[in-house]
């Protein structure tokens, strides 16, 4: 038995020895192979060592910012944060109370307590995030959460695209995507899309050696690939004029609840778009988008009587227009149908062509097209005015016109804006020829693109003429006639005290899905194209309101009139164009009681006495300065037409204290800014909710003030 046992032990020992020998041979062979080939698993030893001891970190780049013409930020990258929670109980700092943590986080993240609690109770997870609710958090949200001192909660820093003015030129600027798989943001709408190749950033990296614990080694072979920030884009947009547009559109949307509304403001001398807005609009920070179409350039519709401006210009240029010649208004028979004036074809008897223009007579323009100009020449002029092709504005998705110009009735109706469809931006471009001595200017929104690191100009747009459809003499004559439309014709609701306005109203029919046109009160697109001041236009303004909810016997011109006058008056004053009321503009306003009373000159009167007098008349009055001092300035200016309840600012001598602007409209707040000559920074849209200069604080000229606006609750 003993011998047998020893024999088994010897066999076992031998087996172990053989096993060790085989392992040794295997290791020796492996080492020999590595020594000869200098490779491990197909990788060279040097490469493998580099990978083991080298690490790389991303150097974050920023997407290019977008600015208005004065350098105010309209879009920029700002720090943002992603929140995470550590669930592993073996880790010292972990979530200890999921229920309480979910309860505290829910109101800050805008998520339900139940959903957050479900995430925080997941099993076998070291760390979790909270989906869309936990990403792109602001610094304010992060601070609020940190103040709660919740165990196991941490943050990762990143960037997000931020639009500081909220609902502001949203269809121009657009927005970027939220691609979670990439650190690089891509533009998907507006200029963010069309200028993406300039705005897009490229992240860099730094590569360095580290020891076994991950600590960076002090060796000189560090490699840095610099991040490449996106280029800076400067627009033609004037932030203040754009704010006037947004404010006016908000008021129209609130009061009339139209299907859509459009406003464009341009400099006719250069083609620069100073402001452009649509309703419905959206907040690019929230992506609450109901209308992706930039209707100002992407939507075409029958313009209505605004097209008469260009038929009139063609007739004058060709020498076939005699404003004192009479014709029979009412109805006019042409091949294919009968043209009727807008008062059910009753007309106004035998009237002059000038009066026909003022009354927006369809018959007058039908006769001009057929009997005076001829259809071929009319078509040539409409082509010269740019209605047969896109303007080429530097915004994506521009639409082109749709001409119906075959049958005689189609040619006739095109002359007064029916049948043929054009875009608002085509009308703006054509109107620049009327307001710019016959020279038509291409509209554009991008002034320049520069490299923010070197200030090198990458791209710069200059004013560009797209033709000269009419002479300076014709342009001047058209302006004179269009002024009478505002003083004595259908454009009276568009008169502005202190400024001579030239313009033309439009009422466009809307095709019905069942064929023909929509019927019913207000089932039209009401528009106006105006130029101001008439003698040397600095602005061309186009407004349109689609199917407003009119009250009682309101007309569409009342809606568009409010939109146009609000935008134009504020914009002219912003451009320091002094009012100079002519007898014609006073005459127009005296015919329209909607424009209220003429404000007298209170200069030299005691501040307190004037305040009481105006308040007794039903006005809101803000008196600035020593109440016993004499009035030095007032806004609105003397001679302005003011409505009952309008806010009036009076300035006397002595210490000026800042009024409480909370709840004021932007237009009223800017009255204080103007009279005190402050340097404003406006954020948001709507009504004043915050002001950087506190109420009752002393204020001096040139002080800077930030005004925060928000929509009414």
What residues are annotated to the active site?
305
Q: Are 443 and 273 within 8 A, CB to CB? A: yes
The 3-state DSSP class for residue 650 equals strand
Say how far apart CA 106 and CA 129 lie, in whole Å.
14
Handedness of CA 124, 127, 129, 130 (dihedral sign): positive
Tell me phi and psi for residue 690, to 5 degrees: -145, 155
To 10 degrees, the CA torsion angle through 565, 569, 572, 575? -130
User: For residues 458 and 449, is the Cβ–Cβ distance under 8 A?
Assistant: yes
DSSP H helical ranges for 229-329: 239-256, 295-298, 308-317
Report the C-alpha dihedral over residues 683, 687, 693, 694, rounded to 10 degrees. -140
What is the residue whose two structure tokens read 């932030």?
Answer: 239
Dihedrals phi, psi of 494, to nearest 5 degrees: -105, 5
Instruction: Report the alpha-carbon distance of residue 219 to residue 209 in Å, rounded.
Output: 7
Using the structure block, give the residue that is written with the tokens 């020829």. Answer: 433
Buried b (16+ CB within 10 A) or exposed e, 360-387: bbbbbbbbbbbebbebebbbebbebbbb
Q: How far apart are CA 664 and CA 300, in angstroms?
A: 36
The dihedral formed by the CA atoms of 472, 476, 481 and 486, expressed in degrees to the nearest 10? 130
Q: Which sign does the torsion angle of CA 273, 63, 692, 249 carry?
A: positive
Q: Are 242 and 413 in contact (CB under 8 A)?
A: no
Q: The tokens 């005296």 sit on which residue?
A: 590
Strand partners, 690: 708
Burial 15-49 (b: 16+ CB within 10 A, else e): eeeeeeeeeeeeeeeeeeeeeeeeeeeeeeeeeee
Q: For the CA atoms of the chain, what is the radius of gyration?
A: 35
Give the number of residues written for the chain: 713
Cα angle 59, 159, 55; round to 5 = 25
Give the three-class secondary structure for 169: coil
């Amino acid at each position: 038995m003993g011998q047998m046992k020893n024999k088994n032990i010897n066999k076992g020992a031998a087996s172990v020895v053989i096993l060790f020998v085989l392992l040794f041979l295997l290791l020796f062979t492996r080492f020999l192979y590595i020594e000869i080939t200098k490779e491990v698993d197909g990788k060279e030893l040097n490469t493998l060592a580099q990978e083991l001891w080298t690490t790389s970190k991303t150097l974050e780049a920023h997407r290019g910012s977008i600015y208005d013409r004065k350098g105010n930020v309209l879009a920029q990258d700002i720090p943002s944060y992603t929140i995470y929670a550590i669930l592993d109980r073996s880790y010292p700092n972990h979530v200890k109370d999921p229920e309480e943590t979910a309860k505290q986080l829910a109101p800050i993240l805008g998520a339900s307590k139940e959903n957050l609690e479900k995430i925080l109770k997941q099993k076998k997870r070291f760390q979790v995030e909270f989906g869309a609710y936990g990403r792109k958090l602001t610094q304010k949200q992060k601070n609020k959460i940190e103040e709660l001192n919740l165990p196991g909660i941490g943050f990762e820093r990143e960037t997000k695209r931020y639009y500081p003015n909220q609902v502001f030129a949203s269809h121009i600027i657009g927005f970027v995507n939220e691609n979670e798989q990439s650190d690089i943001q891509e533009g998907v709408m507006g200029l963010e899309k069309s200028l993406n190749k300039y705005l897009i950033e490229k992240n860099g990296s730094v590569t360095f050696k580290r020891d076994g614990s991950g600590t960076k080694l002090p060796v000189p072979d560090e490699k840095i690939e610099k991040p490449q920030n996106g280029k800076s884009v400067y627009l033609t947009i004037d932030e203040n004029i754009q704010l006037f547009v947004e404010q006016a559109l908000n008021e129209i949307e609130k009061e009339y609840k139209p299907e859509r509304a459009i406003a464009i403001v341009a400099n006719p001398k250069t083609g620069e778009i100073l402001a452009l807005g649509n309703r419905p609009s959206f907040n690019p920070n929230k992506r609450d988008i109901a209308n992706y179409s930039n209707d100002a350039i992407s939507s075409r519709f029958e313009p209505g009587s605004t097209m008469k401006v260009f038929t009139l210009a063609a007739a004058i240029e060709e020498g076939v227009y005699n404003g004192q010649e009479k014709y029979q208004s009412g109805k006019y028979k042409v091949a294919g149908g009968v043209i009727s004036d807008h008062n059910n074809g009753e007309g106004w008897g035998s009237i002059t062509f000038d009066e026909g223009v003022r009354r927006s007579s369809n018959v007058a323009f039908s006769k001009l097209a057929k009997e005076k100009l001829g259809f071929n020449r009319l078509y040539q002029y409409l082509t010269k005015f740019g209605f047969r092709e896109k303007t080429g504005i530097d915004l994506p998705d521009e639409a082109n016109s749709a001409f119906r110009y075959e049958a005689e009735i189609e040619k006739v109706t095109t002359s007064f804006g029916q049948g043929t469809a054009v875009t608002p931006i085509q009308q703006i471009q054509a109107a620049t020829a009327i307001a710019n001595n016959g020279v038509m200017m291409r509209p554009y929104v991008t002034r320049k693109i520069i490299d923010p690191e070197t200030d090198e100009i990458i791209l710069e747009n200059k004013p560009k003429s797209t033709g000269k459809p009419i002479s300076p003499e014709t342009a001047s004559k058209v302006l004179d006639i269009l002024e009478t439309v505002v003083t004595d014709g259908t454009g009276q609701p568009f008169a502005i005290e202190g400024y001579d306005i030239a313009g033309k109203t439009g009422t466009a029919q809307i095709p019905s899905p069942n064929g023909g046109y929509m019927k019913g009160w207000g089932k039209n697109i009401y528009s106006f194209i105006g130029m101001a001041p008439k003698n040397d236009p600095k602005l061309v303004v186009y407004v349109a309101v689609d199917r407003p909810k009119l009250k009682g016997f309101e007309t569409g011109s009342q809606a568009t009139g409010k939109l146009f006058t609000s935008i134009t008056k504020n914009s002219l004053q912003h451009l320091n164009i002094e009012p100079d009321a002519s007898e014609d503009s006073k005459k127009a306003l005296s015919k329209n009681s909607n424009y209220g009373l003429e404000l007298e000159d209170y200069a030299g009167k005691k501040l307190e006495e004037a305040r009481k007098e105006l308040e007794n008349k039903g006005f809101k009055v803000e008196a600035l300065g020593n109440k016993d001092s004499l009035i030095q300035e007032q806004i609105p200016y003397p001679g302005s037409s003011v409505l009952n309840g309008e806010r009036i600012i009076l300035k006397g001598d002595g210490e000026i204290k800042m009024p409480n602007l909370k709840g004021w409209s932007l237009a009223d707040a800017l009255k204080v800014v103007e009279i005190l000559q402050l340097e404003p920074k406006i954020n948001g849209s709507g009504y004043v909710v915050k002001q950087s200069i506190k109420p009752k604080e002393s204020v001096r000229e040139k002080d800077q003030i930030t005004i925060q606006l928000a929509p009414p609750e």
